[in-house]
């Protein structure tokens, strides 16, 4: 309890009798805390999924010098609820001959993993649902369910476009999982922990200490390539980012939903909210992917300049959450930016990029990092 | 080595593309919000024809000579005129345009010796029921003149003189 008072940063005499203290006490006790995070994460995912659709459409408009959705509410802000109501009012059809159970389960399976992943993603220095020691592993293991869900959705639809899309999704995700995990292993060798909160704490001090730059110059006295050991850290970030685009089936790697070739790919037979859930899950997955990129490479909730003093208490935490969200949403914006800049790659181009460029480069960075980490011990 | 340079230069082209799109992102939008905003048509736009009129007097230039109707290859103009009391020239009293037949060839405008007709700038023509096969251009002239605060001049047909006017006006 006293720890909580310290976190709030208020004088003890003031906090002892205030309403805020009692509320904070209540929500930090166990059943309420879990419930709060459950509701909070569901709300966060739902709000993001709905409003990133709006951001995407608005962004697409601006990139093409159109205003984007403009009619429903101010700046089209009521567009997502309007779309949701329209989708909810539609009948859910299961095509004859389709595998009804898998067909219905696929949208749920694609939506559930991002919800689970957010449970271990730290938003602030104590805004974290569960501090799991193998948080990184958990995010990746649940993240790959996404692939299976798309594959099942495509396979259960009994539709030739859907099944082609399912095959593409599997080969694409297998190809991109390898460089992504190699890059993450490179990072893990440097951090030495899978606890996401600890990974962030290691990056404290300023943007030069973030993992994206730490390998190049260690400002804590190590010099060139000392502690990070990874001279190619910006390149590994780039590989991670490209793989994240491919894993979330975003343009220019949206082979799963190549609308000019495959109608709507794995989603062809889905209508109403079944399709809507797939659509929202795409954005939820982007949020998880961008959060992961932020906390692995861009210092999570750490301030870009210096350290937020602990005496700032609750305000400092909120500032940290703000930094995290700012970095994360910048990455989300860059995802939208990329989608409306580049045309879709062809499938062999996609696989060539992974097998001929990304995997060799990530293997090279892995070797380089392991050599550089052992090198200081020789001298 | 070739692969490395290709990869790096290829990556640079991607950066160039991103730079171009982000520049467009911050430029103002160029959308015309159609039902609420409309474009003004350029002068050479060919809408349906309309009667021209004198800016000062508010009188139509048309003398109902019927040359436009003769010039029209689609026979979509039917007009009628009347000589007002104490004047030498006739004035148009009835100008029917079947716009559904019109191909906007401009032959009527070029044939007109009095510079009495022109293309209008109208383009919002989708409507149900279809009024365009029997457009009353005299009514349009009246409306236009009234809108600028002048009185349109269309001579009333005397009941007895009507058959004679019909004979003269037929193309």
Q: How do beta strands B135-136 and B91-97 pair?
A: antiparallel
Decide if B7 touches A, using CB distance below 8 A.
yes
A96-123 pLDDT per residue, tens: 888 888 888 888 888 888 888 888 888 8
SS3 category, A327: helix
- Compute the nearest-CA separation of B130 from chain A (Å): 30
Spell out which residues of chain B touch residue A58, defining contact as CB-CB under 8 Å.
none
Task: Give a yes or no: residue B76 inside a domain.
Answer: yes
Confidence at residue A319, expressed as pLDDT on a 0 to 100 scale? 84
B65-123 pLDDT per residue, tens: 889 889 999 889 888 888 888 788 888 888 888 888 888 888 999 999 988 899 988 88
- Find the residue in B nearest to A238 (Cα): B11
Task: Give a yes or no: residue B156 inside a domain.
Answer: yes
- The CATH code of the domain that includes B113 is 3.30.70.3270
Instruction: For residues A49 and A282, give the distance between their C-alpha atoms in angstroms, rounded to a whole number.
Output: 8
Q: Using the beta-carbon criterion (under 8 Å), do B31 and A66 form an inter-chain contact?
A: yes
Task: Give a yes or no: residue B164 inside a domain.
Answer: yes
Spell out which residues of chain A touch residue B14, defining contact as CB-CB under 8 Å.
342
Task: Give a yes or no: residue B128 inside a domain.
Answer: yes
Q: Report phi then psi at A24, rounded to 5.
A: -60, -40
- Compute the nearest-CA separation of B9 from chain A (Å): 14
Confidence at residue A6, expressed as pLDDT on a 0 to 100 scale? 53
Give the confidence band of A70 by pLDDT, cuts at 50, 70, 90: confident
- Find the residue in A nearest to B23 (Cα): A63
Task: Give a yes or no: residue B9 inside a domain.
Answer: no
Residue A113: CB atoms within 10 A of its CB come to: 23
Integer-rounded Cα Rg, in Å, for chain A is 22
Q: Using the beta-carbon criterion (under 8 Å), do A63 and B30 form an inter-chain contact?
A: no
Task: Give a yes or no: residue B6 inside a domain.
Answer: no
Instruction: For residues A245 and A286, give the distance between their C-alpha atoms in angstroms, rounded to a whole number.
Output: 8
How much is the average pLDDT of B123-138? 82
Instruction: For residues A293 and A291, give the distance between their C-alpha atoms in angstroms, rounded to a whole number.
Output: 5
Task: Give a yes or no: residue B124 inside a domain.
Answer: yes
Range of the structural domain that residue B155 is part of: 49-169
Cα three-residue angle A338-A343-A344, rounded to 5 degrees: 100
Q: Which residue intervals of chain A are DSSP H helices?
A: 2-8, 12-16, 19-27, 30-63, 79-88, 100-117, 135-143, 145-156, 160-191, 196-202, 211-214, 233-247, 259-262, 272-297, 313-339, 347-352, 359-378
Q: Using the beta-carbon criterion (under 8 Å), do A357 and B7 form an inter-chain contact?
A: yes
pTM for the whole structure: 0.78
SS3 category, A249: coil
**What average pLDDT does the structure give for chain A?**
82
Confidence at residue B171, expressed as pLDDT on a 0 to 100 scale? 46
Instruction: For residues A345 and A54, give the distance between their C-alpha atoms in angstroms, rounded to a whole number.
Output: 25
**0.90 surpassed by complex ipTM:** no
Domain total of chain B: 1
Residue bearing tokens 């009293």: B93
Q: For residue B35, is pLDDT > 80?
A: yes
What's the 3-state SS for chain B?
CHHHHHHHHHHHHHHHHHHHHHHHHCCCCCCCCCCCCCCCCCCCCCCCEEECECCCCCCECCCCCCHHHHHCCCCCEEEEEECCCCCCCCEEEEEEECCCCCCCCCHHHHHCCCCCEEECCCCCCCCCCCCCCCEEHHHHHHHHHHHCCCCCCCCCCCCCCHHHHHHHHCC
Instruction: For residues A300 and A322, give the distance between their C-alpha atoms in angstroms, rounded to a whole number.
Output: 10
Is the CB of residue A156 less than 8 Å from the CB of residue A103? Answer: yes
Task: Give a yes or no: residue B86 inside a domain.
Answer: yes
């Amino acid at each position: 309890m006293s720890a909580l008072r310290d976190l709030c940063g208020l004088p003890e005499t003031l906090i002892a009798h205030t309403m805020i203290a009692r509320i904070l006490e209540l929500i930090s006790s166990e059943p309420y805390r879990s419930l709060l995070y459950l509701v909070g994460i569901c709300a966060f995912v739902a709000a993001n999924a709905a409003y990133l659709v709006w951001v995407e459409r608005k962004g697409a408009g601006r990139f093409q010098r159109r205003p984007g959705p403009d009619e429903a509410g101010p700046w089209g802000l009521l567009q997502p609820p309007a779309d949701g109501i329209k989708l909810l009012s539609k009948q859910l059809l299961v095509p004859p001959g389709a595998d009804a159970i898998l067909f219905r389960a696929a949208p749920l399976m694609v939506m559930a993993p991002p919800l689970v992943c957010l449970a271990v993603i730290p938003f602030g220095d104590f805004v974290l649902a569960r501090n799991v020691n193998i948080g990184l592993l958990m995010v990746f293991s649940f993240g790959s369910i996404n692939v299976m869900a798309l594959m099942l959705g495509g396979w259960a639809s009994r539709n030739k476009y859907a099944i082609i899309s399912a095959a593409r999704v599997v080969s694409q995700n297998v190809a991109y999982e390898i460089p992504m995990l190699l890059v993450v292993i490179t990072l893990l060798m440097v951090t030495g922990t899978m606890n996401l909160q600890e990974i962030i704490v290691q990056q404290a001090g300023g943007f030069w200490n973030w993992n994206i730059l730490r390998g190049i110059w260690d400002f804590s006295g190590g010099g060139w390539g000392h502690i990070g050991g990874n001279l190619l850290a910006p390149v590994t970030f780039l590989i991670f980012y490209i793989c994240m685009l491919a894993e979330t089936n975003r343009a220019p790697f949206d082979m799963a939903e190549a609308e000019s070739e495959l109608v709507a790919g794995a989603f062809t037979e889905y209508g109403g909210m079944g399709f809507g859930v797939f659509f929202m899950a795409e954005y939820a997955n982007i949020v998880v992917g961008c959060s992961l990129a932020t906390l692995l490479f861009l210092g999570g909730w750490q301030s870009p300049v210096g350290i937020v003093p602990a005496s700032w208490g609750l305000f400092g935490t909120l500032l940290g959450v703000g930094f995290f969200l700012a970095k994360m949403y910048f990455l989300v914006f860059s995802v939208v930016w990329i989608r409306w800049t580049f045309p879709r790659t062809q499938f062999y181009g996609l696989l060539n990029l992974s097998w001929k460029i990304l995997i060799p480069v990530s293997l090279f960075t892995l070797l380089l990092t392991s050599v550089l980490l052992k090198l200081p011990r020789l001298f | 080595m070739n692969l490395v340079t290709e990869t790096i230069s290829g990556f640079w082209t991607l950066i160039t593309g991103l730079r171009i799109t982000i520049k467009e992102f911050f430029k103002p939008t160029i959308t015309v919000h159609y039902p609420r905003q409309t474009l003004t048509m350029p002068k050479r736009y060919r809408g349906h024809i309309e009667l021209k009129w004198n800016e000062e007097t508010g009188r139509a230039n048309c003398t109902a000579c019927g040359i436009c109707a003769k010039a029209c290859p689609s026979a979509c103009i039917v007009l009628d005129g009347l000589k007002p009391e104490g004047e030498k020239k006739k004035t148009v009293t009835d100008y029917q345009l079947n716009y559904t037949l019109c191909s906007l060839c401009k032959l009527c405008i070029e044939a007109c010796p009095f510079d009495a007709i022109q293309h209008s700038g109208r383009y919002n023509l989708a409507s149900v029921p279809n009024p365009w096969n029997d457009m009353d251009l005299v009514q349009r002239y009246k409306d236009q003149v009234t809108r600028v605060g002048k009185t349109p001049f269309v001579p009333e047909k005397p009941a007895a003189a009507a058959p004679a006017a019909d004979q003269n006006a037929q193309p």
